[in-house]
Structure 1
Amino acid sequence: MFPLEVVKLVAVDFSYKPSEIYIKKGTPTKVTFKNEGNVEHDFELVSDEDILIQTTSSTNHQHGKTAAKKVHLHAKPGETATVVLKATAAGTYQFYCTIPGHKESGMVGRITFL
């Protein structure tokens, strides 16, 4: 069994730091999402069920949508949200902010599981 990895992801207006993340597949990883911006932001990881959510992530968007079977974290300014996940396969997956206009303004990134 692999030790728990920790990834810190920060949202600012309108980008993520870092925007590219590399994680070893099969490794349980705690993603800590902190909003240091001035407006609400979220983090949604797009996958085809290759990523197992090992703790609860919020599938309810604060702007009325849902993210069933997706990794989704939401944080208002100054807030932090976390999830533990594990990828079962290698691959590169996009993440983005689902709040209207944020993705289009550049709030996108990639996680690569090696």
Structure 2
Amino acid sequence: MDIIQKGIYLTGTVLVTIGLLAGCGSSKESAPEKDKPVEETKQQQTEQQKDKSIASEEAKNDNVIEISAFEMGYTPPSVTLEEGKKYTLVLKNDGKIFHDLTAKKLDVKITNMGKMPDHPEKMSFLDEIDNIFGVNKVHASGNHDDGHGEVEMNYIHMNAKSGQTVKIKFIPQETGEFKFFCSVPGHEEAGMHGGIEVE
């Protein structure tokens, strides 16, 4: 009986010691921030604050408008602009398929357009019918910048693959209410449209 009690006591002591050592080892690993020098942490915070203030200042100066495309709509569904003011329109495709944003009736002066992907050659059965009858569709593709920051288009048309973000810079040339939509066959009809009001 005495040997059994000593064995239990020894086993318990070994287990407690292992537990304490494991606990001490994990506390060092779980708190790496305490090991960092205070100056380094402060410097990172200062750099992050500078980046945020620069981004917000750029957003104020550029009048950035962000629109998200998804199946089947846009967020926000409408925007208000001022005639003659410079804007940067950022389109982010949060959907799983190819989308675009088109506002053909809004007269704009495009000052810069980023590189955009071509519309996929086969997007739907409707495209096949158009090909049979010889209907040609015009879509934004590639880089439309003529090398001097000016773009020949006088309306908005942006393409984005799933997960892609594209942008253009433009100046609205007229006041009124205008529609924007996705020109991929069937998307506008499924509810993928919104409005632009220019004051």
Same fold, TM-score > 0.5, yes or no: yes
Deviation at 1:89, TM superposition (A): 1.7
Q: Does 1:10 align with 2:68?
A: yes
Task: State percent identity of aligned pairs.
Answer: 26
Q: Which residue of 2 aligns with 1:90?
A: 175
- Whichever structure has more helix as a proportion of its residues is 2
Deviations 1:57-87 (A, max 9, x none): 6798514621564311111110011001111
3-state SS of paired residue (1:55) = strand
One-letter amino acid matched to 2:138: T
Deviation at 1:56, TM superposition (A): 2.6
**TM-score, normalization by structure 1:** 0.86
Deviation at 1:4, TM superposition (A): 2.2
Deviations 1:33-77 (A, max 9, x none): 0000011100011226x2111113679851462156431111111
**TM-score, normalization by structure 2:** 0.51
- Between 1 and 2, higher relative CO (CA 8 Å, sep ≥ 6) is seen in 1
Q: Which residue of 2 aligns with 1:55?
A: 112
Rounded Cα–Cα distance in structure 1 between residues aligned with 2:120 and 2:155: 16
Q: Does 1:111 align with 2:187?
A: no
Equivalent pairs, count: 112
Rounded Cα–Cα distance in structure 1 between residues aligned with 2:161 and 2:116: 16
Q: Which residue of 2 aligns with 1:101?
A: 186
| Max Rg structure | 2
Q: Which residue of 1 aligns with 2:138?
A: 66
Deviation at 1:111, TM superposition (A): 0.6
Q: CA RMSD in A?
A: 2.2
Rounded Cα–Cα distance in structure 1 between residues aligned with 2:81 and 2:101: 17
Rounded Cα–Cα distance in structure 1 between residues aligned with 2:175 and 2:118: 27
- Whichever structure has more strand as a proportion of its residues is 1
**Conserved? CA contact 1:23–1:113, under 8 Å:** yes
Q: Does 1:78 align with 2:163?
A: yes
* Stretch deviating more after TM superposition (84-93 or 14-23): 84-93
